[in-house]
């Protein structure tokens, strides 16, 4: 589907928490600037139908290409990961498998914490970003629309998202389950992105700790948040070192591209628990060797399970049936889009034959009833085209091959349809 009409297929390539640990995911993580640069490069190459998704749990590219390596190469060029590393932990989905993958992501079935719907907003933003740059098409728009419809139904009609099991919730549960006196510990939250806000709110909701402090590089953001959450203390960014010296638990959610906490921040001999909620990791690996420092990362937090996950797992079959409904709806639209021009061309070919035959018989037969002949042959044309529509709608039918046969049988009118894209 490039500008020069080279044959392309629909792919989804990427890495996720399933095979890649937090360190590897961090290498392939794409900042917003790098996502934009990747999309601009694709556009410059004539690859105008793709979008990029990069979260703490996955980084992937979805769209059209001649070969998946084109997408893999761009991902590696714009991240810190290599092709060799990608090959060890990656997945490459094609055609129907890529469509199914997108439905599973959008409905929370493929989230690291089952039923986590934060990915839905991230998907919307990824598509919006690609649309602004100009790398989307009607196919992607329709597919995302069907995914979002399925997502909404799964959320409203099942218990797949019952209870609260987000990463920020898991962080608070970790403290509750592993620190006997968690309500009296000095807790410092560093970073006020979405994860930091949710962590502060979960600390307020699920604990009775009154010594939670919040520090962020941008001070005015903290001030606004503190006004709405007055149980949290505002700590100054310039006092970060002093604040860390006083704290027992440091929760890092800064979302930077490199470590924001390293050995210079933690005094030698200090005993401290650090929860790193950032992707890539924002706590320097060198701190793991420092005595007294315990670091818990995203992968370890995601192992926390409770009763709500057991309830959610029972809802998977219902969620999958909803997905099937919307996937079939998308496939019906897709097939209609592919075979409608072919049926129209077939009808034109048959009508040309009809005209020739009527003209022939008018000359040969005296008192020839042209009107009656036209009615009868028009009905035949309708029946023939209807049979072809039924054939093309059959899920076992190869539409491209069928159109190619139709073209050979009925002639030139269908030749322009032969290049129908293989999705």
Q: Which residues form the catalytic set?
A: 56
Whole-number Cα distances in Å, 412 to 100, 336, 359: 36, 21, 21
- Strand locations in 265-422, DSSP E? 272-276, 293-296
Please report where in the chains the tokens 């929370």 appear, as a residue.
108
Burial pattern 66-75, b for ≥16 Cβ within 10 A else e, equals: eebebbbebb
Please report where in the chains the tokens 């709500």 appear, as a residue.
308
Task: Find out whether 263 and 294 touch, Cβ atoms under 8 Å.
Answer: no
88 vs 84: CA distance, rounded Å: 7
Pairing between β-strand 272-276 and β-strand 293-296 as defined by DSSP bridges: parallel
25 vs 73: CA distance, rounded Å: 16
Q: Which two tokens stand for residue 360?
A: 């022939």
Chain centroid, CA 272 distance in Å: 36
CA angle (339, 383, 338) in 5-degree steps: 0
The CA R_g of the chain, rounded to the nearest whole Å, is 29
342 vs 234: CA distance, rounded Å: 66
Please report where in the chains the tokens 């040969």 appear, as a residue.
364
Whole-number Cα distances in Å, 385 to 130, 229, 399, 407: 39, 66, 15, 14
Task: Find out whether 257 and 32 touch, Cβ atoms under 8 Å.
Answer: no
411: left (phi over 0), alpha (psi -120 to 50) or beta: left
58 vs 300: CA distance, rounded Å: 16
Q: What are phi and psi of 71, to 5 degrees?
A: -75, -40
SS3 assignment, position 294: strand
**Residue whose C-alpha is closest to residue 327's, from 411, 389, 395:** 395
Q: Which two tokens stand for residue 253?
A: 């959610």
């Amino acid at each position: 589907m490039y500008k020069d009409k080279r044959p392309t297929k629909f792919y989804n390539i990427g890495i996720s928490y399933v095979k890649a640990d937090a360190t590897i995911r961090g290498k392939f993580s794409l900042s917003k600037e790098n996502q934009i640069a990747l999309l601009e490069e694709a556009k410059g190459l004539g690859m105008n139908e793709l979008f990029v998704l990069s979260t703490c749990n996955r980084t992937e590219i979805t769209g059209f290409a001649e070969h998946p390596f084109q997408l893999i190469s761009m991902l590696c060029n714009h991240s810190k990961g290599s092709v060799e590393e990608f090959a060890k932990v990656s997945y490459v989905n094609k055609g129907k498998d890529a469509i199914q993958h997108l439905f599973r992501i959008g409905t929370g079935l493929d989230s690291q914490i089952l039923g986590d719907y934060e990915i839905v907003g991230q998907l919307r933003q990824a598509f919006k970003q690609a649309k602004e740059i100009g790398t989307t098409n009607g196919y992607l728009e329709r597919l995302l629309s069907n995914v979002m419809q399925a997502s909404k139904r799964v959320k409203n009609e099942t218990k797949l998202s019952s209870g609260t099991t987000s990463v920020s919730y898991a962080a608070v549960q970790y403290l509750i389950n592993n620190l006997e006196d968690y309500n009296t510990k000095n807790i410092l939250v560093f970073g006020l992105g979405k994860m930091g806000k949710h962590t502060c709110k979960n600390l307020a909701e699920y604990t009775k700790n009154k010594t939670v402090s919040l520090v962020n590089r941008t001070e005015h953001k903290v001030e606004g948040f503190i006004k709405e959450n007055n149980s949290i203390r505002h700590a100054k960014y310039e006092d970060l070192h002093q604040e860390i010296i006083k704290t027992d638990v440091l929760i890092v959610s800064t979302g930077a591209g490199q470590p924001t906490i390293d050995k210079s921040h933690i005094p030698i001999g200090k005993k401290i628990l650090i929860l790193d909620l950032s992707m890539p990791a924002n706590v320097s690996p060198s701190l793991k060797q420092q005595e007294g420092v315990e670091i818990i990362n995203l992968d370890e937090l995601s192992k926390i399970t409770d009763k709500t996950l057991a309830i959610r797992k029972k809802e998977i079959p219902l969620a999958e049936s909803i997905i099937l409904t919307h996937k079939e709806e998308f496939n019906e639209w897709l097939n209609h889009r592919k075979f409608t021009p072919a049926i129209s061309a077939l009808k034109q070919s048959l009508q040309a034959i009809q005209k020739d035959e009527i003209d022939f018989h008018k000359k040969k037969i005296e008192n020839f009833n042209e009107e009656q002949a036209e009615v009868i042959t028009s009905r035949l044309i309708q029946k023939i085209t209807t049979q072809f529509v039924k054939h093309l709608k059959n899920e076992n039918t190869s539409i491209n091959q069928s159109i190619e046969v139709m073209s050979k049988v009925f002639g030139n009118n269908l030749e322009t349809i032969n290049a129908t894209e293989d999705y």
